[in-house]
Structure 1
Amino acid sequence: DLVYAATFSTPQKVNFMAKEARGLICTPMTKKTAQRLELAPMVNNNDSAHETAFTVSVDTATAKTGISAAERNDCIELLASPLSNKSDFVRPGHIFPLIAKDGGVLVRTGHTEGSVDLCTLAGLAPVAVICEIIKDDGTMARRDDLELFKKEHNLKFIYISDIVEYRLANEKLVTPLESCEIDFFGIKVEKITFTDHLQREHTVIKFYNANKKENVKFHNIVSDLELLTNQGQYKSLINSIEFLKKNGGLLIFLDTKTISKEQAREFGIGAQILKSLGVESINLITSNKDTEFVGLSGFGLNVAKKIVL
């Protein structure tokens, strides 16, 4: 995506996006900003593959057509202004706000969260402008294409993992609450409880005789009924526990009930827990050899190998 801070928007930048990037011009923002402007979700049930949190599109209340670069810029400036309110906009329109998840890239490694995090880190209004880049032939630009685009237009290039790495190095989002020894599946283990910046609790079960490279299994907390009635999920958990009993390692129960189901994109909190425990290299236990745990390397963790059970 092409990205800039809404605070610095100009008609020229909007026109550049429309002409050179060609994608949909969107304005990622925090949930707090969207609520203040009463920007309702575009749909009640978001079933898109990426679960991008679109709100109803907007124009300024004074717009004539709303589609010109100047009028779209006016709308972007109002969205970024702390003085604007609901009555400054009409719905629908030609600018598409997106709501970033609380916690930013440490919860979801998406362009929506990355662009808002950049604005926040720079001390600007937490509203960005992004646009997908489409090639002359109408297909999406990929990494090699973006390298050429960057050079042609003298732009900077940043990865989401760069933002993740910076935030992890400069922010502490998890705090250990307590530690105790418990009986777990017939053996003694250490139970460590953490809380995060969203007041969710996560639990680590530490199996003794762990190796230098920790065997790690992430498990999203679900209801007892859901676990017991999902044979595949239950079997995967039991297999992982038996493996960890024999080989040592960490079983991390993540409270993900309040965030989206995109499991591969939401290991920021788990990564911070591992860093808090001093873990840098892991053997990742999974039930699916094709599962890609996107962005773990961006959290400063080396995945030495995947263990498929």
Structure 2
Amino acid sequence: MPGARGWPAGLPEPDGLAGGFVFGEASVVRALNELRKGSLVLLAEDGDKSSRFSFVVSPELVTTEQIDFLNQHAVRTQVALLPAAYQRVYESLHKIVLDNNNLARPALSVSVHGSGRSPLNSSHVASTVRALLHPNASAKLSCPGAVALSCAREGGVLRRAGATEAAVELCRLAGLPPLGMYAVANISGQSELRAFAEKWGLVYSSTADLIAFQRRRSALVERCAPPVAMPTKFGVFTAHCYRSLVDGVEHIALVKAQSGNELPHKLKPFLGSTKPALVRVHSECCTGDIFGSLRCDCGPQLEAGLRAIERDGWGVFLYLRGQEGRGIGLGAKIHAYSLQERGLDTLDANTELGLPVDSREYGTGAQILVDLGIRDMRLISNNPKKFTGLAGFGLRIVDREPSHTAPNKENIGYLRTKVQRMGHMLELGDSSDWAENGAPPPVSGGSQTSAASQDEE
């Protein structure tokens, strides 16, 4: 058996698992066992409702036949590395030094080629991938090349529920070197997934199952202060402060609880009520939230969210810090603004700077909501694409409510980009509906299909 080694301590043995599709922790254990054998496994990126699937295999054990298989049945094959390993390769090949904070946010793009002038074929790709296992990998590589690298976040799927983090985490949990090879499968839905897996004898798991598996063994956040009453101009809330165990960033949740709903440090879910909590997860925006910038709609969304929760009488406003400019940082956001003044939109400006369109991570926010006792929630959001792997945290969105804010002449182009290129659910109206200062009047919006309101700049 290729790559055979002892089963990692603390994990249930895979022997005796039933045949066919299994879900939950059993699916993770089975996937780990297959990875140890050197097999490909299938991974759904958002549980049993996903329409996006990836193949995962260990770079240490990958074969030329498996690479041929990926070339036929998948796209965008990549090798995911932990930040320290990625940083070593990137800095050596590009002869620059990366700032650790920037490394942790955008997954900087790099591709590599094995040393020598070998022809570009599956055998050469396999040897290039295996070269990444060596501590001095960059000495054996050149750039650019056929093997794309990506940088997984510290904290794994509990911090960001993506295929990059899942690939690394699965290989690490299987007792293999902590890097993973993955590719997006040409599979369009659950029914096709099952047929494909049965045809090729592949095991299936999901990021949601992996998150649930890891939650039993790890934590990302801790409380860093006792709850305290927080009177605001919107109403009186209870402030709960949390610290990330990954990067030390502190986050705050403002809770509006009906009488008798709040225990000393945790909410009593549902309050004996049939109405789930109203939740807004808001990413930090210094320029919009503090200075009232008209370039974005963050400040108005912050105020609208707090007012909605106060009006409802039962909910959580979670303010995630360290996610400025959709996660690229304050300096990079200001730089992107300068490019927007030259005619680029918010997405193209990020791309011009070599930054991702959106690098925010919501695993931290999910763990905070779980600690507060939230299970089912009504989510205030306009964005249909964020917060994957939610089921793994034991959270469920039962309804979505639009975030009503008015466009203004400064941010109308930005909002159009969010609608046309990012799929946000907004109705912008015409210029007669626009506010001069970004405040009233409200603008109607449709219902959302997101997971944790990520409309901020």
Q: Cα distance, 1:222 vs. partner?
A: 1.2
Q: Matches of 1:171 and 1:303 in 2, distance apart?
A: 24
Pairing 1:245–2:292 present: no
The total of aligned residue pairs comes to 292
Q: How does 1:223-242 map to 2 (within 5 A)?
A: 223-225=286-288, 228-230=292-294, 232-242=297-307
TM-score (norm 1): 0.82
* Secondary structure of the corresponding residue to residue 164 of structure 1: helix
| Partner of residue 397, structure 2 | 303
Measure, in 2, the Cα distance between the counterparts of 1:214 and 1:162: 24
Sort the Cα spacing of 1:300 and 1:156 in 2 relative to 1 into closer, same or farther, 3 A: same
**Which amino acid letter does the alignment assign opposite residue 205 of structure 1?**
L
Identify the residue that residue 388 of structure 2 maps to in structure 1: 294
Aligned to 1:156: 203
Counterpart CA distance in 2 for 1:99 and 1:122 is: 20
Deviation (angstroms), 1:263: 6.7
Asked whether the 8 Å contact 1:168–1:272 carries over to 2, the reply is no
1:182 partner amino acid: M
Supply the distance in 1 between the matched residues of 2:293 and 2:106 (Cα, whole angstroms). Answer: 30
Change in 2 beyond 3 A, CA 1:54/1:203: closer
Rounded to whole Å, the distance in 2 between the matches of 1:291 and 1:94 is 29
**3-state SS of the aligned residue for 1:215?**
strand
1:164 maps to a residue whose letter is: I
Using the alignment, how far apart are the partners of 1:55 and 1:84 within structure 2? 20
CA distance in 1, matches of 2:215, 2:160: 14
Q: For residue 203 of structure 2, give the secondary structure of its aligned residue in structure 1.
A: coil
Contact preservation (8 Å) 2:285, 2:298: no
What's the CA shift for 1:141?
4.5
Q: How does 1:126-141 map to 2 (within 5 A)?
A: 126-134=178-186, 141=188
Aligned mates of 1:73, 1:292 — CA distance in 2: 33
Counterpart code for 1:173: L
Distance 2:75 2:390 in 1: 28
Say whether the 8 Å CA contact 1:24–1:132 is kept in structure 2: yes
Is 1:277 aligned to 2:325, yes or no?
Answer: no
Counting only pairs closer than 5 Å after superposition, residues 31-46 of structure 1 correspond to structure 2 as 31-38=83-90
Task: Give the 3-state SS of the residue equivalent to 1:158 in structure 2.
Answer: strand
Shift of 1:182: 2.6
Give the conservation status (yes or no) of the 8 Å contact 1:162–1:298. yes
Query: Deviation string for 1:59-103 (max 9, x for gaps)?
Result: 2213522x222221111111123x333211122222111222233
3-state SS of the aligned residue for 2:90? coil
Distance 1:178 1:5 in 2: 42
2:232 aligned with 1:184: yes
Quote how far apart the aligned CAs of 1:224 are.
4.6
Aligned pairs (5 A) from 1:59-78: 59-65=113-119, 67-78=120-131
Q: Which of these residues, 97, 105, 109, is aligned with residue 161 of structure 2?
A: 109
Instruction: Look up the equivalent residue of 1:16 and give its one-letter code.
Output: F
Whether the aligned pair in 2 keeps the contact of 1:220 and 1:254 (CA below 8 Å) is: yes
Against the structure 1 CA distance between its residues 181 and 232, is the aligned structure 2 distance closer, same or farther, given a 3 Å change threshold? same
Q: Which residue of 1 aligns with 2:138?
A: 86
Residues 54, 5 of structure 1: alpha-carbon distance in 2 compared, 3 angstrom cutoff: farther
CA distance in 2, matches of 1:61, 1:77: 12
Moved more, 188-197 or 229-238: 229-238
| Secondary structure class of the residue paired with 2:224 | strand
SS at 1:269 equivalent: helix
Which of 210, 214, 220 aligns to 1:167? It is 214
Give 2:247's aligned residue: 198
Q: TM-score, normalised by structure 2?
A: 0.58
8 A contact 1:265–1:294 mirrored in 2: no
- Is the 8 Å Cα contact of residues 110 and 150 (structure 2) preserved in structure 1? no
- What whole-Å deviation, never above 9, does each CA across 1:90-125 have from its counterpart, x for those lacking one? 222221112222333233322222211211222321
Unaligned residue ranges in structure 1 (runs of 5+): 45-50, 135-139
* Correspondence for 1:29: 81
Quick one: structure 1 residues 141 and 239, their matched pair in 2 at CA, closer, same or farther if it must change by over 3 Å? closer
| 1:217 maps onto 2:287 in alignment | no
Tell me if structure 2 keeps the 8 A contact 1:24–1:131: yes
Percent identity of paired positions between Structure 1 and Structure 2: 21
Q: 1:241 to 1:264 in 2, by over 3 A?
A: farther
Specify every segment of 5 or more residues in structure 2 that has no aligned partner in the other structure, as ranges. 1-53, 99-104, 262-269, 329-355, 404-457
| Pair 1:4-2:57 in alignment | yes
Corresponding residue for residue 255 of structure 1: 321
Any idea what the Cα deviations from partners look like across 1:247-274, whole Å, max 9, x if unmatched?
1321110114273587797321111001
Q: How has the CA–CA distance of structure 1 residues 56 and 271 changed in structure 2, closer, same or farther, with 3 Å as cutoff? A: closer
Partner residue, 1:137: none
Matched, 1:57 2:103: no
Q: Is the 8 A contact 2:289 2:299 kept in 1?
A: no
CA distance in 1, matches of 2:165, 2:288: 33
Distance 1:264 1:112, change over 3 A: closer
Q: CA RMSD in A?
A: 2.9
Question: In the alignment, does 2:200 pair up with 1:146?
Answer: no
Greater fraction of residues in strand: 1
Q: 3-state SS of the aligned residue for 2:176?
A: coil
* Alpha-carbon distance in structure 2 between the residues aligned to 1:277 and 1:74: 48
